[in-house]
Amino acid sequence: MIVILKQNPNESQVAHLKTWLEGKGITVHESVGDSHVILGLVGDTSKLDKDLISALDIVEDVKRVQEPYKNANRKFHAEDTVIHVGNTQIGGGTLTLMAGPCSIETEEQIIGVAKAVKAAGATILRGGAFKPRTSPYAFQGMGADGIELLKLAKKETGLPIITEIMEISQLTLFDDVDIIQVGTRNMQNFNLLRELGRQNKPVMLKRGMSATYEEWLMSAEYIMASGNEKIILCERGIRTFETHTRNTLDIAAIPVLKKLSHFPVIIDPSHATGKSALVESLSMAAVAGGADGIMIEVHNDPEHALCDGPQSIRPEQFAKISAKLCALHGFMKTMED
């Protein structure tokens, strides 16, 4: 960490700062320039509070040299994190295919979709029980009943299940859920993250709508800081000025996150674009770009699909895409260095 002091800083305040830093085990290197004095802080600066130091009257700017996340950092955790659920794994060279409806609606629907996506190659079943909706008047999901139906579908098919949590008090409902999803609006719900860190269960952390990689990894750090290392990152598109697609899929997140951190990276083309016609090409791009898996919305009853988003595709389309993704994943393995 580098601290740039203002011109002609108060000497006793500078001394006070140095003493405070040294009390935290940091060595301070002072370097005097034409216009500014610069302090180079050497030691474990990941736990220093950058804002606290920036706040000082004598400080003009603070710049990090090291990343502020440590447990989530590839530099301190060289090997890939691999998550095991049911008979499958996420990361470690596997291609994970998560599929299922946006909202769980009926037993027939979820079991129908579950069987269809399993037959088509899906390895994990997704389905929404608690739905974050912009409008209080929109359907908010089936809630606890939805989770029960999802568990039935798991029993019926053997597929591990993933569904979204929206607040700490819902945790008791997630005992038989295999992976807990944290949605984009909760990426910085720090109380929820801290609590999920106390669970012994994989968490899939979706990127906040306008979050940077660093903020995203700091949220993963929150979960790890309370003890849970089973984290999956899911890029689901960020907000940009483009309105043709609902969000903009940041494909560079795949190689960047796999370099900065050690977590598996899943891509969600359904939410990233909001358009089913774009799901296939973005999924292919993601697999070629190195993603550990894809999460796709699949509905099974287009005639009555008043509750599925325009991003959902039908099981037969999913089967076709799934086959292509697996073929591409196999081909990519033949080209590894």
* Binding to its own copies, residues 289-328 (CB under 8 A): 289-290, 302-303, 305-310, 312, 324, 327-328
* Residues binding its own copies: number (CB under 8 A): 108
Single out the residue of 259, 329, 305, 248 nearest to residue 105, CA to CA: 305
Residue closer to its own copies by CB (options 72, 85) is 72
Phi, psi of 299 (to 5 degrees): -120, 160
166 binds its own copies (CB under 8 A): yes
29 binds its own copies (CB under 8 A): yes
Smallest separation (angstroms) from its own copies to the CB of 126: 17
Dihedral sign computed on CA atoms, order 113, 114, 117, 119: negative
Per CB under 8 A, which of residues 123..162 are in contact with its own copies?
132-140
CA torsion angle for 171, 163, 292, 234 (degrees, to 10)?
-80
Smallest separation (angstroms) from its own copies to the CB of 197: 8
Smallest separation (angstroms) from its own copies to the CB of 87: 28
Q: How many angstroms separate the CA atoms of 6 and 58, rounded?
A: 6
Per-residue buried b or exposed e for 144-166, using 16+ beta carbons within 10 Å of the residue's own CB: eebbebbbebbeebebbbbbbbb
Phi-psi sector, 227: left (phi>0), alpha (psi -120 to 50), beta:
left
Other beta carbons within 10 Å of 332: 14
Smallest separation (angstroms) from its own copies to the CB of 335: 5
182 binds its own copies (CB under 8 A): no
Q: How many angstroms separate the CA atoms of 297 and 219, rounded?
A: 25
Residue closer to its own copies by CB (options 154, 271) is 271
Out of 227, 277, 316, 333, the only residue in the binding site for its own copies (CB under 8 A) is 277
CB 179 within 8 A of CB 124: yes
In the numeric block, which tokens belong to residue 311? 């991003």
Phi, psi of 197 (to 5 degrees): -65, -20
DSSP structure class, residue 117: H
List the x/- string, 219-258, binding to its own copies by CB under 8 A: --xx--xx-----------xxxxxxxx--xxxxx-xxx--
CB 62 within 8 A of CB 70: no
* 265 strand-pairing partners: 233
19 binds its own copies (CB under 8 A): no
Smallest separation (angstroms) from its own copies to the CB of 140: 8
105 binds its own copies (CB under 8 A): no
Out of 80, 151, 285, 301, the only residue in the binding site for its own copies (CB under 8 A) is 285
Single out the residue of 105, 95, 108 nearest to residue 127, CA to CA: 105
263 binds its own copies (CB under 8 A): no
Per CB under 8 A, which of residues 189..218 are in contact with its own copies?
189-192, 194, 209-215, 218
Out of 6, 9, 18, 46, the only residue in the binding site for its own copies (CB under 8 A) is 46
Out of 6, 9, 18, 36, the only residue in the binding site for its own copies (CB under 8 A) is 36
Q: How many angstroms separate the CA atoms of 18 and 16, rounded?
A: 6
Rounded to whole angstroms, the maximal C-alpha distance in the chain is 75
Task: Give the range of 30-38, 77-85, 91-99, 111-119 binding its own copies by CB under 8 A.
Answer: 30-38
Out of 186, 228, 270, 300, the only residue in the binding site for its own copies (CB under 8 A) is 186
Smallest separation (angstroms) from its own copies to the CB of 56: 7
4 binds its own copies (CB under 8 A): yes
Out of 42, 86, 106, 198, the only residue in the binding site for its own copies (CB under 8 A) is 42
Per CB under 8 A, which of residues 50..69 are in contact with its own copies?
51-52, 54-57, 61, 63, 65-66, 68
Single out the residue of 257, 250, 209 nearest to residue 231, CA to CA: 257
